[in-house]
């Protein structure tokens, strides 16, 4: 839970630093990732020790396996926040692009709320809340699709926007990937409580890599 709280804070600060063009806050996010990495290593070492000494079975083993997988997902979210912060330092040297930074912060806020609920459903062993978190990933994907179109439009309207929009697109993709990792955490809660992974296919709303209507060629047409 401590690690999860640090990751939540990292998401919020990374998004805020982008919107306010605050390089010091972005640097704070980058430096803070080391603490998240250290916690992952500590948790995994403790999990390995418990497995070796106690040889847990059934629900006890599921708890340990779930914690290890959740920890891995939290570490990846922390890395993605750090990547956002790195690009912020580059973007502050460029002209801002419309209201895209505000849209990205809103998207990041929704992911952070998903993560908060995912951690809560782990503590409460709440399968219904976990399934709700899984469903909400579709909303993040839709936000990403919308931003993808906006970035293409800005780039086509003025080639001088291309570099900034490419950085913003990578940030949007980082946030979308955070949503995927949060979804994985929620799926681990379902596994922990029921002993089975969710039976329904994971809903996915990111069509930018498969939908020809969202390709740059389609927008040019």
**Is residue 165 classed as helix, strand or coil in its secondary structure?**
helix
Query: Using one digit for the tens of pLDDT, what is the confidence trace for 161-181?
Result: 999 999 999 999 999 999 999
CATH entry 3.40.30.10 includes domain 2-211: no
Among candidates 87, 67, 92, 97, which has minimal Cα distance to 4? Answer: 67
Quote the CA–CA distance of 54 and 60 in Å, as a whole number.
10
Quote the CA–CA distance of 100 and 154 in Å, as a whole number.
10
Query: Using one digit for the tens of pLDDT, what is the confidence trace for 28-76?
Result: 999 999 999 999 999 999 999 999 998 888 888 889 999 999 999 999 9
Q: List C-alpha distances in Å: 188 to 65, 137, 161.
A: 9, 15, 41
Query: Using one digit for the tens of pLDDT, what is the confidence trace for 78-128?
Result: 999 999 999 998 998 898 888 898 999 999 999 999 999 999 999 999 999
Query: What residues contact residue 165 under an 8 Å CB cut-off, 6+ apart?
Result: 97, 151, 152, 154, 155
57, burial (CB in 10 Å: exposed 0-12, middle 13-18, buried 19+)? exposed
Quote the CA–CA distance of 81 and 174 in Å, as a whole number.
8
**Structure tokens of 48?**
């390995």
Specify the pLDDT at position 198.
76
Mean pLDDT of 187-214: 71
Judge contact between 43 and 98, C-beta under 8 A: no
Mean pLDDT of 9-30: 95
Q: Is the pLDDT of residue 210 over 90?
A: no
Which spans in the chain are helix H? 2-20, 23-54, 58-91, 100-124, 127-157, 162-194, 216-220
Quote the CA–CA distance of 29 and 21 in Å, as a whole number.
13
Query: Using one digit for the tens of pLDDT, what is the confidence trace for 138-154?
Result: 999 999 999 999 999 99
Specify the pLDDT at position 60.
87
Q: Give the predicted TM-score (pTM) of the model.
A: 0.87
Q: Is the pLDDT of residue 212 over 70?
A: no
């Amino acid at each position: 839970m401590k690690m999860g709280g640090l990751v939540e804070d990292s998401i919020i600060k990374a998004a805020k630093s982008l919107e306010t063009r605050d390089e010091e806050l972005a640097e704070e996010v980058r430096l803070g990732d080391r603490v998240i990495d250290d916690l992952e290593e500590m948790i995994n070492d403790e999990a390995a020790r418990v497995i070796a000494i106690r040889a847990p079975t059934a629900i006890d083993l599921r708890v340990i396996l779930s914690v290890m997988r959740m920890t891995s997902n939290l570490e990846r979210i922390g890395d993605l926040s750090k990547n956002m912060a790195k690009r912020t330092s580059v973007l502050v040297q460029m002209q801002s692009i419309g209201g895209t930074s505000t849209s990205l912060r809103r998207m990041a806020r929704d992911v952070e709320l998903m993560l908060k609920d995912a951690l809560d459903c782990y503590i409460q062993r709440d399968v219904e809340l976990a399934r709700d978190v899984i469903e909400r990933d579709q909303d993040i994907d839709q936000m990403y699709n919308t931003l993808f179109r906006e970035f293409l439009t800005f780039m086509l309207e003025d080639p001088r926007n291309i570099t900034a929009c490419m950085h913003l697109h990578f940030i949007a993709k980082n946030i979308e990937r955070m949503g995927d990792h949060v979804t994985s955490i929620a799926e681990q809660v379902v596994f922990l409580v029921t002993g089975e992974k969710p039976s329904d296919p994971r809903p996915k709303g990111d069509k930018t890599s498969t939908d020809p209507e969202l390709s740059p060629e389609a927008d040019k047409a």
